[in-house]
Amino acid sequence: MRKINPEDFPTICSFDLGGNEIYAGSSRMSVLVLNPGDASSKITCDFQVHLVVLEGKISLVSDDRSIDLKQGCLASMLPGKDYRIRNEHPEKSRVLLIQDDPLWVLRKRRSVRKYSKLSVPKSLVEKILNLSRLAPSAGNIQPWRIFAVSDQSLKDALAESAYGQSFLRDAPWVIVVCAVPRESEREYGSRGRDLYSIQDTSALTTYIMLIAKAYGLDTCWVGAFNDEKVSRVLNLPNDVKPVSMIPMGYGEKEPDTPPRKPLDSILKFL
């Protein structure tokens, strides 16, 4: 039985799980990646974890059931039970084991600027963007439009519009979040047009990034771009304003956490 030490998990790691039992003995363990090539792995959990299939097709087998999981699927594994992961395509399968900690996506999300060549299915992107509609907006006006771009020539042009930030080119998807200020203006005048529509689309951007992370995908908020060029590339109507671009894919490696200001320098209890 292999014991997982939380200190071994500063980053997303690959493990050779072939034939081993995994003992997830820490309440802080958050992510495991199943290597391509492992045909079968046995896992025992002492707390609930979720398993996300990144690539390939696997079966999750326990005493009382067997579930077939395809790309983008999420399955819950209960504590104290043994599970066997049967890998249908050992040469190309990757899964994440995610601890049932609702805050892990906040801790693990980083701005990633290097993406692997692994493809991301359109159905998974659609799932993420569908959920992101739950983001709050002033008066629930939802003054936004979303463009999900996978076409290589469009991604090249978006990277060019963003002063050559080349990771926009390399990511399998670039999500462009746009505001429709006139929809907010109708209800809230200039405050809606100039402030709420931007705040709403910023909230939507954050939702997209965090939901993507929950499905094992990395992102980066890109705000440095030429509005007119992006509008031209996407053929946007005059009243649709690009607010953020979000490259989305599987990161090559997890960057260090950039330092944050000390709490007492930004917070005052009154």
Ligand X SMILES: Cc1cc2nc3c(=O)[nH]c(=O)nc-3n(C[C@H](O)[C@H](O)[C@H](O)COP(=O)(O)O)c2cc1C
Residues that bind ligand X (CB under 6 A): 110-111, 113, 165, 220-224, 258
Name the residue with the smallest CB distance to ligand X. 223
CA 188 – CA 182 distance, rounded (Å): 10
Shortest distance, position 166 Cβ to ligand X, whole Å? 11
Shortest distance, position 97 Cβ to ligand X, whole Å? 23
Burial class (CB in 10 A: 0-12, 13-18, 19+), 167: buried
Closest CB to ligand X among residues 108, 193: 108
Look up residue 46 and give its two tokens.
């002492």
Look up residue 249 and give its two tokens.
């894919």
CA 253 – CA 255 distance, rounded (Å): 6
Closest CB to ligand X among residues 139, 255: 255
Shortest distance, position 68 Cβ to ligand X, whole Å? 35
CA 227 – CA 239 distance, rounded (Å): 12
The closest of 226, 222, 225, 231 to 174, measured between CA atoms, is 222
Look up residue 187 and give its two tokens.
């209800």
Closest CB to ligand X among residues 184, 244: 244
Closest CB to ligand X among residues 110, 145: 110
The one-letter code for the residue type at 202 is S
Shortest distance, position 112 Cβ to ligand X, whole Å? 8
